[in-house]
Structure 1
Amino acid sequence: MDQSLLKQLTHWHKHSEHQKIVSALLEIPETERDYDAVCLLARAFNNLDRYEEAVQQLLIVEGQGRQDPLWHFRLGYAYYYLKRYDEAVHAFGDADKLDPGDPDTLDFLTSSRQEAGKQHSQVTRSKRVKPDNASGTGTPADGDFFGQIDFTRFWDDSDYARKEYVSEPPIDELIASIEEELGYKLPASYIAMMKIHNGGIPVQTCFPTDDATSWAEDHISISGILGIGREKAYSLCGEFGSPFMIEEWGYPDIGVVICDCPSAGHDVVMLDYRECGRDGEPAVIHVDQEADYKITFLASNFAAFIQGLVHEDVYDTSEEDKQEALRKVAAGKFSPLLAELCAKVDEVERIEHVIRTICTQIVEEKGFFALHADERSILMYDLQFWLYTKSYPQTTRDRYLGVYEQMIAFGGEFSTGGYAPGFITDWLDNRLQQGLIVENDGTLQLTAAAAETLIDQLKAVEVSGSPNPDEETFETIADQIRPFVLVQHDSGNVSMILNVGEYKAELFVLRADEGFEGNGYDWGSLAAVFLEEKMPELAGVIRFDPEASMFCAYSSEREAMYRFATGFKQACEDEALIRDLFARAELD
């Protein structure tokens, strides 16, 4: 493109004179417009709210734009405002893959997913027509409950699903027996579905909601659908079935639990018989233990619920959630109890580092921070028990089960945010059965041999989690920048993290009347000024991803991150310099 024209276009764009850009570029014959001209024309159309024309222009150069994140961003922008949210999700997703971490892209990607979910919800709700028949039970005369659903592709028949959920199709005698035990007549649509495939994990596990729950603002997620039976753990009358959830977890006795959720018991999906009576056609509701058993309406009947399920990709924030979890386990503040217990350990050097290393491995493997029944989770159960009983040797079973959640499960910043008590009692019973934990006069303790083995495991983690000789620089930089924390990720990224609130709090008071609070976003604004003025050569290499309680800078280029981290920490310690930089920080 002619440089004088480009300069003129830049000037018009800066002054929001977008129509002048369009007029100038349309004067160029279409066959003579190069890639840059077409993209700038599309940008101007977007800024004039002429999104269809923007899409048309961008698709002309689709072949050239496939590796350009800005092309994908502009296309996603147009699709977003055209309310073509599914297409916007794909476009912004491709932009993020090509240029990971760009905050504008991530904001639009998140919004597009949310709007796509709402759009799916509206479509689903418009199709929800309660079945009608003479008997009033909601059973259509032809028995076609589910419309066009292809049940050969509905289920995810993994080994785990078959082991924990799937039973043989129920016979009528079993159905009658289960209904008698539950005290409710099961919906005909549910029975018909179970006779085809009795319980399991569906491919599509999300259901849109208008109201926020403890799971998400705009949807709930299920782990599986309980089948009719007693043998499988996740069947209606199985080990973790409806009676168990009502009697042991306190869910309201208003119907039948039909789906478990990823929260490990802290929310469920139920059939609700309050309006229809025990023999009628129940609605489907979500019950949220975390919100004092709040009830959220989902569907007027079971068939409508199944038809309304959507794929988790519609709401996929897994990568963002994983990065947040990694930051949490790397720098989140330990609970008072866990900090107290760690302070008393001398058998293992850097026990806090060991705990963070194990939990980082858990997040890298799962994508989130949770303890289940896997090898590393069991190591964390052993570790917490050892720490607690080492400081409190007169610990009984009831005392330990009562205090367990105060260490990590609900430990504040460094926590899983919940837990399933069954995992802990199963672990404890297994350790007692194996002879690794013994009970004497009601008190529990690890055997000497088990404690020695555990300490050896922890020492091995400490060694494996330490930098290699070739990476001694990492340890040096990490020491130099405290209280900032330096974190290496398996992805290759290096992060610099700060739990805000104490360090340099007095700096942000200087502009408190303007709204600065010293939160993670304020730190991000300060760091952006430093980067722009003191290390402009690293612009685009160092990225920021702050949260309210945490500042985070990251990069895929290790040496660049080291330079930025040491430079920014030095600036923070130079009172005159950091005040000067802060004077130009912009409130987010």
Structure 2
Amino acid sequence: MANAIFAGFNLANFWDDSDYALKQYVEEPPTSELIASVEQELGYKLPAAYIELMQGHNGGTPVNTCFPTDKPTSWADDHVAITGISGIGRTKTYSLCGELGSQFMLDEWGYPPIGICICDCPSAGHDMVMLDYSACGPQGEPTVVHVDQEDDYAITFLAKDFESFVRGLVNEQAYDTSAEDLQKDLARIRSSAFSPLLTELVAQQAEADYEQIIRNLCYKLTIEKQYFALHADELSTLLYDAQFLLYSQAHPVISKAAFLEVYPDIIALADGEFSTSGYAPDFIEDWFENRRAAGQIVVDSTGIFTFSEAYERTLRQRLLQHLA
């Protein structure tokens, strides 16, 4: 698409037409009548650069989805990210006047009445990119800002106009810190302090160095996943087993709920640096129910939950294999 507004800018490779984008964002090219009716409904004149872009491709997900910032937001220290750019229309979910369009975000999410919500973000509503008409009035040329619902709707200036915003978008790979994050995770797993509870639990195991077993298991898991988190994979399941084994050897487990209550204090949300810093409760609940159904977690004559003798023997043998 050749035009004076985006002169020298390659719009041919701007859009990423995934199935999701085509379904949720992309409208037919807008007619003059549709543009006028959308402007009337929203109460603002749309920027010429935005109309120009939409006439060539009416909404969607761009290839480059990040915009640099000079101060931190709830998304990152140095940039914000968008999921898509709203099209001019009413039929697609994320169009300007669609089901989750601009007015919905103002009415239901409480975004400030400064203009038009133009781009949604990966936070699913907790931050937005908006056209800000505060200084220019409804008929003027708006700036582009980021509005952070997570930070009491803090406003961060992004670009002087919509064209500058489009030209300033960069690819998310420019902010990919996964390699550095992985090395930090691995360093933390190798040497950072266990939580007080996990420290207590491994100290009571005279059979073997369970501190090293836990560190080795978490290290292998993190290499496999490329980040430190427990889900439903084989190593995660073994770590659920290890935590239950250590805890149940030191403290009576009177119910599933009792164990689930203390579980976060071992690794998931533990005090200290050795932690996944979060977890999905469904994974640990499913693990517990599966062990119960298989007869591997049993209730003894006093009403205490433990591993069966047979499963505990097998489990300890498996754990010892991870000592080296």
Matched, 1:173 2:44: no
Give the equivalent residue in structure 2 for 1:251.
111
Conserved? CA contact 2:267–2:275, under 8 Å: no
Matched, 1:315 2:175: yes
For 1:197, which of 31, 34, 57 is the aligned residue? 57
Give the residue type in structure 2 aligned to 1:267.
Answer: D
Give the residue type in structure 2 aligned to 1:290.
Answer: E
Structure 1 position 150, deviation (Å) = 1.4
Give the residue type in structure 1 aligned to 2:104.
Answer: F
Matched, 1:285 2:136: no
Q: 1:231 to 1:480 in 2, by over 3 A?
A: closer
Give the equivalent residue in structure 2 for 1:562.
322
Conserved? CA contact 1:477–1:562, under 8 Å: no
Q: 1:474 to 1:258 in 2, by over 3 A?
A: closer
Give the equivalent residue in structure 2 for 1:4.
none
Determine the C-alpha separation between the residues in 1 that align with 2:154 and 2:238.
51
Conserved? CA contact 1:467–1:475, under 8 Å: no
Q: 1:476 to 1:249 in 2, by over 3 A?
A: closer
Conserved? CA contact 1:182–1:243, under 8 Å: yes
Which protein has the bigger helix share? 1
Give the equivalent residue in structure 1 for 2:85.
225
Q: 1:266 to 1:479 in 2, by over 3 A?
A: closer
Conserved? CA contact 2:269–2:276, under 8 Å: no
* Deviations 1:68-104, CA, capped at 9 Å, x for gaps: xxxxxxxxxxxxxxxxxxxxxxxxxxxxxxxxxxxxx
Structure 1 position 563, deviation (Å) = 1.1
Structure 1 position 224, deviation (Å) = 0.0
Structure 1 position 152, deviation (Å) = 1.5
Conserved? CA contact 2:64–2:170, under 8 Å: yes
Conserved? CA contact 1:164–1:233, under 8 Å: yes
Give the residue type in structure 2 aligned to 1:195.
Answer: Q
Residues 390-539 of structure 1 correspond to what in structure 2 (within 5 A)? 477-479=242-244, 481-482=246-247, 497=267, 499-501=269-271, 519-520=272-273
2:323 is paired with a residue whose SS is helix
Can you give the 5+ residue segments of structure 1 that lack an aligned partner in the other structure? 1-141, 333-359, 370-413, 415-460, 484-495, 502-518, 521-545, 551-557, 565-588
2:156 is paired with a residue whose SS is strand
Give the equivalent residue in structure 2 for 1:265.
125
Structure 1 position 291, deviation (Å) = 0.3
Max Rg structure: 1
Conserved? CA contact 2:129–2:145, under 8 Å: yes
* TM-score between the two structures when normalised by the length of structure 1: 0.35
1:284 is paired with a residue whose SS is strand
Residues 109-128 of structure 1 correspond to what in structure 2 (within 5 A)? none
* Deviations 1:359-390, CA, capped at 9 Å, x for gaps: x9xxx7xx999xxxxxxxxxxxxxxxxxxxxx
Give the residue type in structure 2 aligned to 1:184.
Answer: Y
* Deviations 1:244-303, CA, capped at 9 Å, x for gaps: 101111101110010000000010000000111111100000000000000000000000
For CA contacts below 8 A with separation 6 or more, give which structure has more relative contact order: 2
* Deviations 1:324-350, CA, capped at 9 Å, x for gaps: 8xx9xxxx9xxxxxxxxxxxxxxxxxx
* Deviations 1:418-464, CA, capped at 9 Å, x for gaps: xxxxxxxxxxxxxxxxxxxxxxxxxxxxxxxxxxxxxxxxxxx9xxx
* Deviations 1:132-166, CA, capped at 9 Å, x for gaps: xxxxxxxxxx9522243211211000111011000
Structure 1 position 474, deviation (Å) = 7.1
* Deviations 1:102-142, CA, capped at 9 Å, x for gaps: xxxxxxxxxxxxxxxxxxxxxxxxxxxxxxxxxxxxxxxx9
Matched, 1:154 2:14: yes
Give the residue type in structure 2 aligned to 1:211.
Answer: K
Q: 1:153 to 1:467 in 2, by over 3 A?
A: closer
Conserved? CA contact 1:167–1:227, under 8 Å: yes
For 1:183, which of 29, 35, 43 is the aligned residue? 43
Matched, 1:235 2:87: no
Q: 1:498 to 1:467 in 2, by over 3 A?
A: closer
Runs of 4+ in 1 over 3 A off after TM superposition: 317-321, 465-468, 472-483, 496-501, 546-550, 558-561
Q: 1:482 to 1:282 in 2, by over 3 A?
A: same
Determine the C-alpha separation between the residues in 2 that align with 1:238 and 1:257.
12
